[in-house]
Protein backbone atom coordinates (compact mmCIF):
# COMPACT_ATOMS: atom_id res chain seq x y z
CA UNK A 1 0.00 0.00 0.00
CA UNK A 2 1.32 3.43 -0.88
CA UNK A 3 2.28 5.61 2.09
CA UNK A 4 0.89 9.06 1.56
CA UNK A 5 -0.04 9.93 5.14
CA UNK A 6 2.43 12.83 5.52
CA UNK A 7 1.13 14.41 2.31
CA UNK A 8 -2.44 13.81 3.43
CA UNK A 9 -1.83 15.52 6.78
CA UNK A 10 -0.12 18.41 5.04
CA UNK A 11 -3.09 18.88 2.68
CA UNK A 12 -5.53 18.58 5.58
CA UNK A 13 -3.73 21.26 7.59
CA UNK A 14 -3.62 23.47 4.51
CA UNK A 15 -7.39 23.11 4.21
CA UNK A 16 -7.01 21.60 0.75
CA UNK A 17 -10.15 19.50 0.52
CA UNK A 18 -9.72 18.63 -3.16
CA UNK A 19 -6.23 17.25 -2.62
CA UNK A 20 -7.37 15.24 0.41
CA UNK A 21 -10.27 13.82 -1.61
CA UNK A 22 -7.95 12.84 -4.47
CA UNK A 23 -5.68 11.03 -2.02
CA UNK A 24 -8.53 9.20 -0.33
CA UNK A 25 -9.90 8.11 -3.71
CA UNK A 26 -6.46 6.86 -4.70
CA UNK A 27 -6.21 4.87 -1.47
CA UNK A 28 -9.67 3.36 -2.00
CA UNK A 29 -8.89 2.51 -5.64
CA UNK A 30 -5.74 0.79 -4.38
CA UNK A 31 -7.85 -1.36 -2.09
CA UNK A 32 -7.14 0.13 1.34
CA UNK A 33 -9.50 -1.49 3.88
CA UNK A 34 -12.03 0.99 5.23
CA UNK A 35 -10.88 0.17 8.75
CA UNK A 36 -7.29 1.14 7.87
CA UNK A 37 -8.39 4.34 6.18
CA UNK A 38 -10.36 5.31 9.26
CA UNK A 39 -7.69 4.54 11.83
CA UNK A 40 -4.46 5.27 9.93
CA UNK A 41 -5.65 8.38 8.11
CA UNK A 42 -8.85 9.94 9.48
CA UNK A 43 -8.38 9.17 13.16
CA UNK A 44 -4.60 9.57 13.21
CA UNK A 45 -4.68 12.92 11.42
CA UNK A 46 -7.47 14.31 13.58
CA UNK A 47 -5.63 13.29 16.74
CA UNK A 48 -2.57 15.12 15.41
CA UNK A 49 -4.66 18.14 14.50
CA UNK A 50 -6.09 18.10 18.02
CA UNK A 51 -2.61 17.99 19.52
CA UNK A 52 -1.48 20.89 17.34
CA UNK A 53 -4.48 22.90 18.47
CA UNK A 54 -3.91 22.04 22.12
CA UNK A 55 -0.29 23.17 21.67
CA UNK A 56 -1.49 26.51 20.21
CA UNK A 57 0.22 25.71 16.94
CA UNK A 58 -2.91 25.96 14.83
CA UNK A 59 -6.11 27.92 15.31
CA UNK A 60 -9.54 26.65 16.19
CA UNK A 61 -10.56 27.53 12.62
CA UNK A 62 -7.82 25.24 11.27
CA UNK A 63 -9.05 22.48 13.55
CA UNK A 64 -12.68 22.97 12.50
CA UNK A 65 -11.70 22.99 8.85
CA UNK A 66 -9.76 19.74 9.22
CA UNK A 67 -12.75 18.16 10.93
CA UNK A 68 -15.16 19.39 8.28
CA UNK A 69 -12.92 18.12 5.48
CA UNK A 70 -12.57 14.71 7.13
CA UNK A 71 -16.30 14.45 7.58
CA UNK A 72 -16.86 15.33 3.94
CA UNK A 73 -14.44 12.55 2.92
CA UNK A 74 -16.12 9.77 4.86
CA UNK A 75 -18.89 9.22 2.26
CA UNK A 76 -16.15 8.17 -0.19
CA UNK A 77 -16.07 4.85 1.67
CA UNK A 78 -19.82 4.30 1.75
CA UNK A 79 -20.24 2.34 -1.50
CA UNK A 80 -17.85 -0.25 -0.02
CA UNK A 81 -18.99 0.11 3.56
CA UNK A 82 -22.70 -0.36 3.02
CA UNK A 83 -22.20 -3.22 0.58
CA UNK A 84 -21.39 -5.66 3.41
CA UNK A 85 -23.82 -8.53 3.97
CA UNK A 86 -25.99 -7.98 7.01
CA UNK A 87 -25.96 -10.48 9.86
CA UNK A 88 -29.22 -9.38 11.49
CA UNK A 89 -27.70 -7.28 14.28
CA UNK A 90 -28.25 -3.59 14.82
CA UNK A 91 -26.80 -0.75 16.87
CA UNK A 92 -27.93 2.77 17.68
CA UNK A 93 -24.96 5.13 17.82
CA UNK A 94 -25.18 8.65 19.15
CA UNK A 95 -23.43 11.62 20.66
CA UNK A 96 -25.06 12.92 23.83
CA UNK A 97 -26.61 16.33 24.48
CA UNK A 98 -24.18 19.24 24.12
CA UNK A 99 -21.60 17.06 22.35
CA UNK A 100 -20.94 18.62 18.97
CA UNK A 101 -18.05 16.40 17.85
CA UNK A 102 -19.63 13.65 15.83
CA UNK A 103 -16.89 12.13 13.69
CA UNK A 104 -15.87 9.64 16.39
CA UNK A 105 -19.46 8.50 16.76
CA UNK A 106 -19.84 8.20 13.01
CA UNK A 107 -16.69 6.08 12.79
CA UNK A 108 -18.19 3.81 15.43
CA UNK A 109 -21.46 3.56 13.47
CA UNK A 110 -19.51 2.78 10.30
CA UNK A 111 -17.46 0.16 12.14
CA UNK A 112 -20.69 -1.66 13.01
CA UNK A 113 -21.64 -1.53 9.31
CA UNK A 114 -18.25 -2.99 8.32
CA UNK A 115 -19.14 -6.00 10.46
CA UNK A 116 -22.55 -6.48 8.85
CA UNK A 117 -24.60 -4.71 11.50
CA UNK A 118 -27.31 -2.18 10.75
CA UNK A 119 -26.29 1.05 12.40
CA UNK A 120 -28.54 3.98 13.13
CA UNK A 121 -26.50 7.13 13.68
CA UNK A 122 -28.17 9.97 15.57
CA UNK A 123 -25.38 12.52 15.26
CA UNK A 124 -24.25 15.43 17.40
CA UNK A 125 -26.10 16.94 20.35
CA UNK A 126 -28.85 14.36 20.67
CA UNK A 127 -31.30 14.87 23.53
CA UNK A 128 -31.90 11.82 25.72
CA UNK A 129 -35.60 11.76 24.72
CA UNK A 130 -34.67 11.40 21.02
CA UNK A 131 -32.20 8.64 21.85
CA UNK A 132 -34.79 6.72 23.89
CA UNK A 133 -37.39 7.13 21.13
CA UNK A 134 -35.07 5.69 18.47
CA UNK A 135 -34.02 2.81 20.69
CA UNK A 136 -37.69 2.01 21.35
CA UNK A 137 -38.41 2.10 17.62
CA UNK A 138 -35.38 0.15 16.36
CA UNK A 139 -34.85 -2.28 19.24
CA UNK A 140 -31.09 -2.50 18.70
CA UNK A 141 -28.78 -5.14 20.17
CA UNK A 142 -26.43 -2.45 21.42
CA UNK A 143 -26.34 1.31 21.99
CA UNK A 144 -22.99 3.03 21.52
CA UNK A 145 -22.37 6.52 22.88
CA UNK A 146 -19.47 8.74 21.91
CA UNK A 147 -17.99 11.48 24.08
CA UNK A 148 -15.22 13.78 22.88
CA UNK A 149 -15.39 16.70 25.30
CA UNK A 150 -14.92 15.72 28.95
CA UNK A 151 -17.32 18.37 30.21
CA UNK A 152 -20.17 16.45 28.62
CA UNK A 153 -19.63 13.55 31.04
CA UNK A 154 -22.73 14.47 33.07
CA UNK A 155 -24.94 14.26 29.99
CA UNK A 156 -23.36 10.92 29.10
CA UNK A 157 -23.99 9.44 32.55
CA UNK A 158 -27.57 10.74 32.44
CA UNK A 159 -28.10 9.09 29.05
CA UNK A 160 -26.68 5.76 30.26
CA UNK A 161 -28.89 5.83 33.34
CA UNK A 162 -31.99 6.70 31.31
CA UNK A 163 -31.24 3.84 28.91
CA UNK A 164 -30.72 1.48 31.86
CA UNK A 165 -34.10 2.40 33.34
CA UNK A 166 -36.00 2.12 30.07
CA UNK A 167 -34.16 -0.90 28.63
CA UNK A 168 -32.46 -2.77 31.49
CA UNK A 169 -31.10 -5.61 29.33
CA UNK A 170 -29.64 -3.35 26.66
CA UNK A 171 -25.83 -3.03 26.72
CA UNK A 172 -24.42 0.49 26.31
CA UNK A 173 -20.90 0.72 24.89
CA UNK A 174 -19.11 3.97 25.56
CA UNK A 175 -15.95 5.49 24.16
CA UNK A 176 -14.26 8.61 22.86
CA UNK A 177 -11.43 11.05 23.36
CA UNK A 178 -12.94 12.43 26.56
CA UNK A 179 -11.79 9.33 28.44
CA UNK A 180 -8.16 10.35 28.04
CA UNK A 181 -8.86 12.46 31.10
CA UNK A 182 -10.29 9.71 33.29
CA UNK A 183 -13.86 8.98 34.44
CA UNK A 184 -13.39 5.29 33.71
CA UNK A 185 -14.71 4.31 37.13
CA UNK A 186 -17.84 6.42 36.78
CA UNK A 187 -18.80 4.60 33.59
CA UNK A 188 -17.77 1.19 34.89
CA UNK A 189 -19.96 1.70 37.97
CA UNK A 190 -23.06 1.65 35.78
CA UNK A 191 -24.24 -1.95 35.35
CA UNK A 192 -25.42 -1.56 31.75
CA UNK A 193 -22.30 0.27 30.46
CA UNK A 194 -18.92 -0.85 29.16
CA UNK A 195 -16.06 1.47 28.30
CA UNK A 196 -14.14 0.68 25.10
CA UNK A 197 -10.75 2.27 24.63
CA UNK A 198 -10.38 2.24 20.85
CA UNK A 199 -11.93 1.30 17.53
CA UNK A 200 -9.85 -1.88 17.63
CA UNK A 201 -11.40 -2.79 20.98
CA UNK A 202 -14.83 -2.08 19.52
CA UNK A 203 -14.07 -4.42 16.63
CA UNK A 204 -12.99 -7.17 19.00
CA UNK A 205 -16.19 -6.73 20.98
CA UNK A 206 -18.33 -6.79 17.82
CA UNK A 207 -16.56 -9.89 16.50
CA UNK A 208 -17.14 -11.68 19.80
CA UNK A 209 -20.87 -10.99 19.61
CA UNK A 210 -22.65 -14.18 18.73
CA UNK A 211 -24.44 -14.15 15.38
CA UNK A 212 -28.21 -14.55 15.74
CA UNK A 213 -29.64 -18.03 15.55
CA UNK A 214 -31.72 -18.82 12.52
CA UNK A 215 -35.44 -19.11 12.98
Partner 1 sequence: MQDDTPHAALLAHLWDEAALLVLQLDPMGRVTHANAFANRHLGNELAGRDFRDLLVNFAVPADFDIRTCANSSPFVLNFNTPSGQPATYRVGVLATDDGLLTIGSPDIDGLEKLQWQVLKLNGELSNMSRQLHQANAELTRLNALKDRFLGMAAHDLRKPLGAIMAYVDFLRNEAAAALTAEHAGFLATIAQAAARMRGMIDSFLDVSVIQSGKLRLERSPVTAESIMAGIRPILDVAARTKEVKLTVDLGGSVLVLDVDAGKIEQVLTNLVGNAIEHSSPGATVSVSVRASGSTAVFAVHDEAVGIPEDRLEHLFEPFERAGTHKSGGERSIGLGLAIAHKIVEAHGGRIRVDSQWGRGSTFTVELPIIPTTNGGEA
Residues that bind partner 1 (CB under 8 A): 61, 64, 67-68, 71-72, 74-75, 78-79, 81-83, 86, 100, 102, 106, 109, 113, 121, 123-124
Query: Checking phi first, is residue 123 left (phi over 0); if not, alpha (psi -120 to 50) or beta?
Result: left
Distances (CA, A) of 106 to 9, 10, 12, 54, 166: 20, 24, 19, 23, 24
The residue (of 120 and 193) whose beta carbon lies closer to partner 1 is 120
The residue (of 17 and 186) whose beta carbon lies closer to partner 1 is 17
Least distance from partner 1 to the Cβ atom of residue 71, Å: 5
Distance separating alpha carbons of residues 32 and 49, to the nearest angstrom? 22
Beta strands 118-121 and 172-175: pairing type?
unpaired
Distance separating alpha carbons of residues 128 and 143, to the nearest angstrom? 12
Least distance from partner 1 to the Cβ atom of residue 48, Å: 20
The residue (of 109 and 199) whose beta carbon lies closer to partner 1 is 109
The residue (of 123 and 164) whose beta carbon lies closer to partner 1 is 123
C-beta separation of 63 from 50 below 8 A: yes
Distance separating alpha carbons of residues 61 and 52, to the nearest angstrom? 12
Task: Give me the DSSP letters along 91-131.
Answer: EEEEE-TT----HHHHHHHHHHHHTT-EEEE--SS--HHHH
Least distance from partner 1 to the Cβ atom of residue 42, Å: 12
Least distance from partner 1 to the Cβ atom of residue 191, Å: 31
The residue (of 74 and 199) whose beta carbon lies closer to partner 1 is 74
Least distance from partner 1 to the Cβ atom of residue 189, Å: 32
C-beta separation of 176 from 150 below 8 A: no
By C-alpha distance, which of 182, 181, 172, 176 is closest to 197? Answer: 176
Least distance from partner 1 to the Cβ atom of residue 31, Å: 20
By C-alpha distance, which of 177, 136, 139 is closest to 156? Answer: 177
The residue (of 124 and 143) whose beta carbon lies closer to partner 1 is 124
Amino acid sequence: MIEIYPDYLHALLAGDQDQCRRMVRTLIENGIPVHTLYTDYFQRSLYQVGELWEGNRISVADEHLATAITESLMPETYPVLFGADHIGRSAVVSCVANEYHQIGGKMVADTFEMHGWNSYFLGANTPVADLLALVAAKKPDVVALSLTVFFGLGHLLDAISALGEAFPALPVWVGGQAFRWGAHEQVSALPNAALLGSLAELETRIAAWEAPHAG
